[in-house]
Amino acid sequence: MQSMNSLDGKVAVVTGGNSGIGRAIAEALAAAGVRVMVAGRREEANRRVAGELREKHGVDAEAMTTDVAIESDCVSLIAQTRERYGRLDILINNAGIGGWGSIAETSTEDFDRVLKTNLYGAFWCAREAFRAMSKNPEKDRIRGSIVNISSIAGKEAWSGTGTYSVSKFGMMALTQSLADEGKSLGIRATAVRPALVVTPMTGASGSEALLPEDIAETVLYLLRLSPAAWPTEIALPRRGAE
């Protein structure tokens, strides 16, 4: 039986990596020996998390202040990561904000703000990462992996989730397109669709909500699949949901 693909020494960018789901993913990657670029809007939080990863796991972890709602920030993030490490193997598009309320009461400014962060940011980072990964050696059967943290609201929408769902539906289409374009190059793209997760953004708590670590373990599972596996999405419902 073949062993799981080793992640040791690979290079990853995690957006929104200083708290919640992103923080848990950065931790799990570092524990697996991955060199991690922690990206987010809060400079001090980024540096703190990167320092903790270095101290706890002995990996090369760096921090970069990044607002994914700004195209130039996304371009710089990928370029500087590749300059720092010489390659990019993994992109975790995790940064996101909520967009709740009714469509009738949503302003154009709010709609644009949510899409710029949740969808445009994912597109800009994925585009630049895809270009960088295509430069990895062809001998690597998987030259790169893009994991987009979507939501159950990326396949279903309800009253009050309108703008958020629009952004996550778009992320699902982005993922499917990337996965198809990446087949010939060995660049895999997958969306993770969790239900309600205990994070600072959701404010959720209790045993019936998913934990950030559930998402992190799912990401590790996807990254360790053989090159023959080409999942475009994986859903994580929760037991307590109706």
Residue 178 inside a domain? The answer is yes
- Quote the domain boundaries for residue 150: 11-236
What's the total number of domains in the chain? 1
Closest CA relative to residue 170, chosen from 210, 118, 111, 218: 118
Residue 1 inside a domain? The answer is no
Residue 229 inside a domain? The answer is yes
CA–chain centroid gap for 203, Å, is 20
Confidence of residue 242 (pLDDT cuts 50, 70, 90): low
Residue 4 inside a domain? The answer is no
**What's 118's DSSP letter?**
I
Residue 185 inside a domain? The answer is yes
Residue 241 inside a domain? The answer is no
- Rounded CA gap, 205 and 207, in Å? 7
Predicted pLDDT at 208:
78
Has 85 been annotated as catalytic?
no
pLDDT tens for 208-240 read 789 999 999 999 999 999 999 999 999 998 876
Stated as kind and residue range, the H or E segment containing 64 is: strand 61-65
Residue 182 inside a domain? The answer is yes
Query: Domain with 169 in it: what CATH number?
Result: 3.40.50.720
Q: Provide the 10 A C-beta neighbour count for residue 145.
A: 25
pLDDT tens for 9-37 read 999 999 999 999 999 999 999 999 999 99
Confidence of residue 100 (pLDDT cuts 50, 70, 90): confident
Judged against a pLDDT cut of 90, whether residue 144 lies above it is answered with yes
Catalytic residue among 85, 120, 164, 221: 164
Q: Provide the 10 A C-beta neighbour count for residue 202.
A: 14
Closest CA relative to residue 145, chosen from 161, 164, 130, 160: 130
What value does the mean pLDDT of the chain take?
Answer: 93
In this prediction the pTM is 0.94
Judged against a pLDDT cut of 60, whether residue 119 lies above it is answered with yes
Lowest mean pLDDT among 63-77, 82-96, 153-167, 211-225: 153-167
